[in-house]
Structure 1
Amino acid sequence: MGTPAARIADLLDVVTTPSHTTPVSRPAPAPPPRTGGPTVNITVVWGDLVEIAADLHVTGHYQSVVPSAAELSLDRAISDGPRPLITEHTRLGWIDAQLGEVTYFPCRAGPIRTAAVVGMGPMGTLTERRAAQMYASLLGEAIAIGHVETMATVLVGAGVGNLSVGGAVRSLVRGFAAALAAQGPSAPAPRLTEVLVVEVDRLRAEQLLLALAHAAADQPGLRIGPELREDSGGRLFAPSAAVYALNALSGLARAAGPAPAAAEEALRTVLADFDPGIRDQVREQLAHLAEVARTDLSLTVRGPTQTQDGALPVRMSVQSGADGGLSWAALTGRATVPERVVAIDRDLLRELVGRLTEPTVDDARGLPVLLSRFVPEDFQRLISDDATVLLELDRDTASVPWEFLTDVQPTGEERHAPLAIRTQLSRQLRTPYARVMTEGPADGPLRALVIGDPGDPEKGLQLPGARSEALAVAARLKALGVDVTLFVGAPNSTRQPGVEPARRLDVLRALLCGRNDIVHYCGHSDFDPSGTGRRSGWVFSDGLLTAQELSLLARPPLIVVANACYTARLGTAAAPGGAAPTPWGNPQAALVPSLADEFLRIGVGHYIGAAWRIPDDQGIAFAEQFYRHLFTIGPAEDPPTVGAAVRSARKALYDQRAENDWADGGQDRQRWSSWAAYQHYGDASEPFVPPEAPSGAREG
């Protein structure tokens, strides 16, 4: 999967093409100063936002989306230490980012005195009308502050697949004009008189200047500087360099003289070594660029420049559509894709979820391609194997086993491994609450609480495999230098020599008083389908231990791993007939999202749960590989993150499918798909840096 190549001509909003018919024009002369109301001067700057001096620096911010591109550069510029300020506020849910809401951040010494982000709302919802409201709110607040004379901002909302440069500029002009009109003709002149719209790429800076001159021609309160201002940090990225190169070729063809043969010979010489298909495309683009007035530029074209974002995550939002179906939006470091709605009958999707929850081998082989068809085609091209994928889900779409996502390939082509095997894939729940502060690991050895098989055997809730997993996990963590507290078995079950039984009160005491970094639970779980969370939790012989009891935690654990299967035997949380009703008709499919929601609510950073029953030995194998990777150096292609450890553990189970020598002599359905059962809620790209383990404890 890769980003589709854009037509070079489409990079210029002012080029006359079938899709861009705006006449070419140079910036109009600046209008005379306005006398009937406040006036703001707008200057387009070719440079880097964080290197431009101003009283206030602003970028846009989508709800729940960690900074990228210009916002990430601003975040790094104002932050001390390894945890960038805006990024941490985002992860903790402290930036509401409602449309037009401005959030301010203190700054270090330097060109940035005050930094702010303006809310863009949920990703995928920014239209020209909403962007105009955002810009009106931004300018109105900047004027109201009183001490801001100069504001530097990027063109918020412009991006490949989202608003075009022209669309974002129209929104800026309309919003700024509305903010000035709200001041009234008799209002005193605002302190804010200069807005610098900064663009790091030269070609887009020229686009921006042309679009502003055209859009603001009838707005006397906005004075557009007639020239592009050059400042520090400006760049020329590869697509722009290509456009300027083609422009130069166009000039070369014209310079060859009026004789068509001379022009053709010049082009033939330049393009001789190109593939015929490329030559045809170049000729087509040259025909368009011949219509563009040449610019007097003196540029030093750099070599290929790495994008600003590097390998930033691809974030996709999947919500239940108002009229059924799925509503998608996407955000990457390169592109923002507005909402796409995939129409699908809810009953069909419910059936697909049911069949992919603990699926048969045939369903696990055939249905993931169908599931992947419900991802919009342009979204599929945004995903690459080297980019972490974050899925933002609501309570309904969280029940879908997205871990099965794979490439959509024509019949007969070799199939690749699923996306969750090739890269880090994690989930985040769209919720109305803010995440509680989660501290990183404390100095000294990490602490872990491990609980296994706490159910009442007299009620048929004993799980010998859960007991084995808890003992194996405790041994693995101790070998890795972790300080482990272990509880195994109900008080009325067979006792494990030297191990305390798992009484609910004792476990709660260890949770509230033990400052645990990791909690690992193996046993039964139950949940309340009403969504209140009052009965969502882990099953002990003397009742449920829920996130509600854990709300008193002063320091929530960073990681919770729960290999927990659903039980409907408690009666109070279950519907008549034994199965709890859910939007998808499958209580097991809704178990992990329900529990994850409650634990994330109290501040847990990462919740990893199994969406259906896992064979005992594979549960142990997943846990051992997860912790081994988390605490030691993993494969070279994986960074030291929780998401990388989850991917490594999934892959360990996925690779076992080729053995085909299981005890029953066939392809057991649970073993075939156990890798996909594990769901990770949290930021897969968030680093995990454990303290040094005792000598000899770390593995290579």
Structure 2
Amino acid sequence: MCAAEGCVVAKVVFNLTIEDSGDSHCRIVAEYNSTCREIEVEKLKPSFRQNLRPLQEAILQCAAARSADVAMRARNENAAAAGGGDEAKPALRDAAGSLTSGSDERIVQEVGSQLFEFIFQRKILELYQECSHAARKDDQPFLIRLRVTDPTLAYVPWETMYDKKNRFYVTTSQSTPFMRAVDDYVEERRACAARPIRMLGMAARVKVLNGFPLDEIEVDAEQVAIKKALSELNDGKRMKLSWIPSAKARDLNRRFLRGDEGKRWDLFHFIGHGGHDPERQMGFIVVQEEGGSKGIRLYADSLKAFLTQPGQTPSLVVLNSCSGAQGEPGSLFSSTAAELIQGGVPAVIAMQFEISDNMGLAFADTFYTYLAENVSIQSALAHTRAELKARQFAEWISPVLYMRGLDGEIFVDRAGSE
């Protein structure tokens, strides 16, 4: 069922691990082709974390976002300006975040260069170059798999890594598809072998959370974009696309328990607002309250319980909301994405920053278009980042892919499939 003849899946893996070695240093270990290299380096300075806020402000040039925190900030800012007057109203949707005047691009490159140079030093760089040379010689991509076990570095936006010498972002290149891992578990998990592939979507049209107005999301447009991207597959035999009628937590839980005529859902896609609670050190998505139209927080631990029921765990979860991959320094598993991966979901895509509504729509349209071309999740996301960057979306650095294993070939036909 390959829609793109000759599509290539990375079989060579370049494993990177960043471990805590005590005090202010960490150990970086690289493995490729039975060769292992390691170095000990000084950790990133605490100031690096502080510099990420300007990075967020630089890439998000749009007032309307899919964040549960934006409305609260806007309300506070408006109240201060008006001397504590009326509540702030939701911001109007503006143009997509863009790389204006090249200034935002320079900020991303500066952060990305620091991260690339932090990892690829001395022996690590030599092994990386050896792997790159071998892959180019065979005209094959190689997968970069990064595992960070040092809790103080879990928050870092590794997706920005920029190879200054060769002038390219590692995670936008088809030569170096990229993924994160939260442990050293590398099982070849099942992809979606059975037919039809079953995809379930949930769209939360929530406008108010805890009394604060939330920015409006173009839910209908995103649903249409996903349907169009998957139109050639969505024939009921190869694929079935369904949507939960409501956005209540109980309906999500019950729909996963029942599955699709008893069969598990292979993919789950969420459209809505999200955020990260620093007090609970946990991410959340915003769903509809029981008996009303306002929103409530569905925290990552509860979402994990819904999506990882025995025999019903999906192969891929996509959280198209803000901050699903945002965690706390000092905690490896405080993000929603990491929580789901720890719970047993094989692959999760989530956003590490706040994103504009336009970015959310463009991401869904682009990602599923490429995924339907029968490439791996890793490759589809590399294509997506590259295209969003070319279209001047500065938020292309936001999507993060976590995987438990290496098998990201969602639409590949396998022997013994149903």
TM-score strictly above 0.5 = yes
- The match for 2:382 among 642, 647, 663 is 647
Structure 1 residues 591 and 683: alpha-carbon distance in aligned structure 2, compared to 1, 3 A threshold: closer
Alignment of 1:7-26 (within 5 A): none
Could you tell me whether the CA contact under 8 Å between 2:18 and 2:148 is conserved in 1? yes
- Give the partner amino acid of 1:465: E
Structure 1 residues 549 and 445: alpha-carbon distance in aligned structure 2, compared to 1, 3 A threshold: closer
Cα distance between partner residues in 2 of 1:437 and 1:508: 27
- The match for 1:582 among 319, 322, 328 is 328
Larger radius of gyration: 1
Q: Percent identity?
A: 22
Alpha-carbon shift at residue 550 of structure 1 (Å): 3.4
Cα distance between partner residues in 1 of 2:364 and 2:225: 9
Long gaps (5+) in structure 1: 1-309, 410-414, 488-499, 568-579, 585-589, 634-639, 658-670, 693-700
Structure 1 residues 617 and 607: alpha-carbon distance in aligned structure 2, compared to 1, 3 A threshold: same
Alpha-carbon shift at residue 680 of structure 1 (Å): 0.6
SS of 1:371's partner is helix
Could you tell me whether the CA contact under 8 Å between 2:268 and 2:318 is conserved in 1? yes
Could you tell me whether the CA contact under 8 Å between 1:643 and 1:685 is conserved in 2? no
Matching residue of 1:403 = 159
Cα distance between partner residues in 2 of 1:611 and 1:503: 24
SS of 1:326's partner is strand
Alignment of 1:355-374 (within 5 A): 355-357=54-56, 359=58, 361=104, 362-374=106-118
Matching residue of 1:565 = 322
Cα distance between partner residues in 2 of 1:400 and 1:581: 9
**Is 2:200 aligned against 1:465?**
no
Cα distance between partner residues in 2 of 1:320 and 1:605: 25
Cα distance between partner residues in 2 of 1:455 and 1:321: 45
Structure 1 residues 364 and 553: alpha-carbon distance in aligned structure 2, compared to 1, 3 A threshold: same
**Is 2:177 aligned against 1:424?**
yes
Alpha-carbon shift at residue 366 of structure 1 (Å): 2.6
SS of 1:381's partner is helix
Cα distance between partner residues in 1 of 2:197 and 2:191: 10
Q: How many residues align?
A: 324
**Is 2:347 aligned against 1:347?**
no
Provide, for residues 428-449 of structure 1, a one-character-per-residue CA deviation record: whole Å limited to 9, x for no partner: 0138xx7999543253221111
Alpha-carbon shift at residue 562 of structure 1 (Å): 0.9
Provide, for residues 63-112 of structure 1, a one-character-per-residue CA deviation record: whole Å limited to 9, x for no partner: xxxxxxxxxxxxxxxxxxxxxxxxxxxxxxxxxxxxxxxxxxxxxxxxxx
Could you tell me whether the CA contact under 8 Å between 1:523 and 1:563 is conserved in 2? yes
Alignment of 1:75-224 (within 5 A): none
Cα distance between partner residues in 2 of 1:531 and 1:650: 31
Matching residue of 2:97 = none
Long gaps (5+) in structure 2: 1-9, 60-103, 136-140, 290-295, 414-418
Cα distance between partner residues in 2 of 1:680 and 1:372: 18
Alpha-carbon shift at residue 685 of structure 1 (Å): 4.5
- The match for 1:317 among 9, 14, 17 is 17
Alpha-carbon shift at residue 485 of structure 1 (Å): 1.7
SS of 1:379's partner is helix
- The match for 2:287 among 526, 531, 540 is 540
Alpha-carbon shift at residue 321 of structure 1 (Å): 4.0
How much is the aligned-residue C-alpha RMSD, in angstroms?
3.3
Provide, for residues 310-355 of structure 1, a one-character-per-residue CA deviation record: whole Å limited to 9, x for no partner: 95210000134421243211111152013x2221454133234444
Alpha-carbon shift at residue 599 of structure 1 (Å): 1.0
Runs (4+) of structure 1 exceeding 6 A deviation are 434-437, 590-593
Could you say which structure has the higher strand fraction? 2
- The match for 1:602 among 343, 352, 359 is 343
Matching residue of 2:272 = 523
SS of 1:688's partner is coil
Matching residue of 2:88 = none
Could you tell me whether the CA contact under 8 Å between 2:16 and 2:31 is conserved in 1? yes
Cα distance between partner residues in 2 of 1:337 and 1:561: 34
- The match for 2:258 among 508, 513, 530 is 513
SS of 1:323's partner is coil
Could you tell me whether the CA contact under 8 Å between 1:466 and 1:616 is conserved in 2? no
Alpha-carbon shift at residue 688 of structure 1 (Å): 1.2
- The match for 1:611 among 352, 362, 370 is 352
Cα distance between partner residues in 1 of 2:34 and 2:314: 34
Cα distance between partner residues in 1 of 2:56 and 2:334: 13
Cα distance between partner residues in 2 of 1:311 and 1:566: 31
